[in-house]
């Protein structure tokens, strides 16, 4: 289970959402801290890389990342060795990502729209997803073999 989670977000994220995440983690007895890009761009790849450095150095054992759609953060997070990131839009996705893949990174789309589509983040739903993610154990068993296959693939890169 998680003890310390690092959080990062880009410029599209409302700070009230970050506070809600921190409150949810605290209610689950999980320490949290926020990584910020103090530059002008606040680019999600740099933020995700900073989070991964903390994970790699064992300063954190999980990550929660947010950007406009969540897609960019999820793509970059999955580039890092040892990270199994999921863009979870439902409790079921959070559940199975932990149960079967032992995911250690949860990503949300904080909100984005253009002329065709819109992504909205409901904070109540986000809290439910986080709670499921935090409180679901890895099943192990047949899934260990598959995770080892992922590690083998990563080692070939």
| Those residues with Cβ within 8 angstroms of residue 95's Cβ, 6 or more apart along the chain or in another chain | 132, 133, 136
| Those residues with Cβ within 8 angstroms of residue 91's Cβ, 6 or more apart along the chain or in another chain | 128, 129, 132
Cα radius of gyration (the chain)? 15
Query: Choosing from 52, 67, 105, 122, which is the catalytic residue?
Result: 67
Phi, psi dihedrals of residue 76, rounded to the nearest 5° = -70, -40
Active-site annotation holds for 122 = no
Active-site annotation holds for 67 = yes
Query: Choosing from 11, 51, 52, 100, which is the catalytic residue?
Result: 100
Whether the Cβ atoms of residue 82 and residue 103 lie closer than 8 Å to each other: no
Catalytically active residues, by annotation = 67, 100
């Amino acid at each position: 289970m998680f003890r310390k989670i690092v959080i990062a977000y880009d410029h599209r994220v409302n700070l009230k959402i970050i506070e809600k995440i921190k409150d949810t983690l605290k209610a689950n007895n999980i320490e949290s801290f926020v990584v910020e890009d103090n530059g002008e761009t606040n680019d999600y790849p740099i933020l995700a890389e900073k989070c991964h450095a903390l994970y790699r150095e064992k300063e954190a054992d999980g990550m929660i990342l947010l950007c406009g759609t969540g897609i960019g953060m999820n793509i970059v997070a999955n580039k890092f060795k040892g990270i199994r990131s999921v863009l979870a839009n439902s409790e079921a996705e959070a559940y199975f990502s932990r149960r079967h893949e032992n995911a250690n990174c949860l990503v949300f789309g904080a909100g984005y729209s253009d002329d065709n589509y819109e992504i909205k983040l409901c904070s109540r739903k986000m809290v439910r997803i986080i709670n499921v993610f935090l409180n679901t154990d890895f099943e192990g068993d047949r899934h260990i073999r598959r995770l080892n296959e992922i590690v083998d693939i990563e080692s070939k890169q």
